Amino acid sequence: MTSCFPSLQQNFLMLQTTTLPSAIAQIVGNNANPMLQGNAYFYQVPYGGVLIEVEVCGLPPEPTTDSGFYGMHIHETGNCTPPFDKTGNHFNPTGQPHPIHEGDLPPLLGNHGYAYSVFYTQHFQLSDILNRSLIIHSKPDDFTTQPSGNSGEKIGCGVITEITATLFPIS
């Protein structure tokens, strides 16, 4: 099987395996989902855009979402104080309709409370999203409802923080 873009695929794999991410969001659950936890890693891609790797466990059972999908978005404000009501709206500096504004991300597919996803976006640069929040919602995004896709309650939150040597000291 051949890849449509072999050089991009190889570059993304090399980026993930040979470099530290540029930023991290350490995701925690709300009061109703205290076992929800995980990390989102953000890699600045040299030719533009960001590669995002998300791993979460402790998601609520899939029957509550009807599909196993959970909405995921970047919100304006990096305040993950439960119940995550201070995160603001979806990050949307250009005023685009949903689902094409900058804060729209692919949904997470949960399986027995676990989700893993890696994707690339050119909707923003890393500097645009630092100190904002990555939110996981209780329901899948419907990709239609304005302004935010009717994704339900904010069940997980992590502030997107630049990784420095003090966060990940190299020994």
Domains of the chain by residue range: 26-134
CA distance 165 to 150: 39
Instruction: Give residue for tokens 């794999």.
Output: 13
Residues 50-105 have pLDDT tens digits of: 999 999 999 998 656 567 899 999 999 999 999 999 999 999 999 998 888 899 99
CATH architecture group of domain 26-134: Sandwich (2.60)
The answer to whether 98 and 143 are in contact (CB under 8 A) is yes
Of 151, 153, 157, which Cα lies nearest the Cα of 71? 151
**CA 164 and chain centroid, separation:** 20
Confidence (pLDDT) at 158: 98
CA distance 116 to 79: 24
pTM of the model: 0.87
Residues 98-149 have pLDDT tens digits of: 888 899 999 999 999 999 999 999 999 999 999 999 999 999 888 888 888 8
